[in-house]
Chain A
Amino acid sequence: MPTKQVTLTVNGQKQTGRAEPRTLLSYFIREELGLTGTHIGCIVGRCGACSVILNGKVVKSCMVFAQQAEGAELMTIEGLADGPKLHPIQEAFWEKHGLQCGYCTPGMILTAFDLLNDNPDPSEAEIREGISGNLCMCTGYVNIVESVKAAADKMGRSRKKAIPSRSRRSRRPGA
């Protein structure tokens, strides 16, 4: 099948690459855009390692065709830090040892990013539900959950400093 040009905004910058209809967004990100922070795990949409933020929402990039991302806003793990300054979620994963081999970490962090966007102060149950689409095969989820909680605290503090009365939608209890 012939390839087609795909133009999208990647981590704030307009980028172009070529993709066949069947090219998955995950492969496009790694091979066309050269952003290898997006990891490929299971390829059947179970593991979440390839999670990215597409038009503001976390999705598994192996479940989207690259051509469907034409004109989209994409954020990969490379776009999360502010230059050399790590994002609070990244800091929290570092401080709380929220990773072992690190393979699941980019997807885990971007899923946490989406979760905390929706629900800035999640309970442990909500965190566990939130990251249920991301598998860690090293050890378990205790430190990952701790990391997300710590990230929520960090972000809550900075939010209070910056924009005191910002209200966001939050998940319904028990959902």
Chain B
Amino acid sequence: MIPKPFELHSPTTLREALSLLKRLDDPKVLAGGQSLVPLMKLRLVSPANLVDIGNVPGLSYINEAKGRLLFGSMTTHDDVAESLAVAKRCQVLSEAASLIGDRQVRNRGTIGGTVCHADPAADIPAVLLALDARLRAAGPRGKRTIRAKDFFKDLFTTALRKDEILIEVEVPDLPPRTGGAYLKLHRGKGDLATVGVAAAITLERSGACKEARLGLAGVGLTPIRAEKAERALEGRKPTGAVIAEACEQAAKIARPASDIMGPADYKREMVKVYTKRAIETCMERA
């Protein structure tokens, strides 16, 4: 299992990387390679030109800015999972990163890579939906910021243009009295989500739900923001009946496919179960 022949480019500046993307025929950006390299070996993907951004300086960092955490796109999952700053300020992202693949994959795979790969069953994209993250792209016309909810367009397809590179992921701090959680059903350790639910829930002092954001993994062509489920919670006290209504709404928007992990009906039921658990975990943490 060897990939089809391709040319490997190793730019050492962002500018050079961007100009390669513009100039080359059928280019593909290589980040950590933990999804792309296996796909190339299976010859499901065979780009003519691979632009490895591993030697571009300044793309691997975790910055604690005021009101938000900033991640360079080449920051590894291990760095995210092991960061005390992330554990303290964004527990849900820290937990989700530590659930990815295995040690070897986390050592090499990157936050930007998993976002751009846009596998609907990946963990981080659903979490970034729930966290209302912003994704910063650099292109020939400069930089632009895309909200996570506008980023995932279709199966393995994002809002990034062919000549753009994701350079930064911005995660706003959760407001006070907010809990976050990511729970996933998966077959074996390190597998992608059969069903994953990410949630961030802000409570009023009264205990009513002020704001809710839910991201679903593994149950559609993209990670899905379950907005109707969020509205079922907002402004109401999250009693059993209210949570059940949110779970119904989440299951309704899910579009799971029947596959080796289970039939679609089963997965839709699991969306309910995991949505309930995620909401309850958020409330405990809020």
Contacts and interface: CB of A to CB of B under 8 A. Distances in A.
Given A24-B2, A111-B103, A129 B108 contact: no
B282 interface: no
A22 B7 CA distance: 8
B190 interface: yes
B157 interface: no
Interface residues of B, number: 35
Interface string A46-61: 0010010000011110
9 closest Cβ contacts across the A-B interface?
A133-B102, A21-B8, A132-B189, A57-B107, A175-B98, A43-B1, A1-B5, A22-B3, A60-B104
A67 interface: yes
A133 B8 contact: no
Contacts of B107: 57-59, 114
Q: Which of A20, A60, A62 has the most CB of B within 10 A?
A: A60
Interface residues of A, number: 37
Nearest to B78: A57
Given A21-B50, A63-B38, A114-B103, A132 B190 contact: yes
Given A22-B2, A133-B190, A175-B95, A68 B105 contact: no
A120 to B, nearest CB: 15
B26 to A, nearest CB: 14
Given A58-B107, A133-B103, A63 B2 contact: no
A1 B105 CA distance: 28
B211 interface: no
Given A21-B7, A132-B189, A63 B37 contact: yes
A67 B10 contact: yes
A9 B102 CA distance: 26
Interface in B39-83: 40-42, 50, 52, 54, 78, 81-82
Q: Which of A57, A68, A129, A131 has the most CB of B within 10 A?
A: A68
A48 B33 CA distance: 15
Nearest to A132: B189
A115 B103 contact: yes
A64 interface: yes
Contacts of A114: 103, 107
A130 interface: yes
Contacts of A20: 5
B87 interface: yes
Contacts of B33: 63-65, 68
B6 interface: yes
Given A22-B3, A67-B10, A175-B98, A58 B38 contact: no
B37 A65 contact: yes
B8 A65 contact: yes
A172 interface: yes
A41 to B, nearest CB: 11
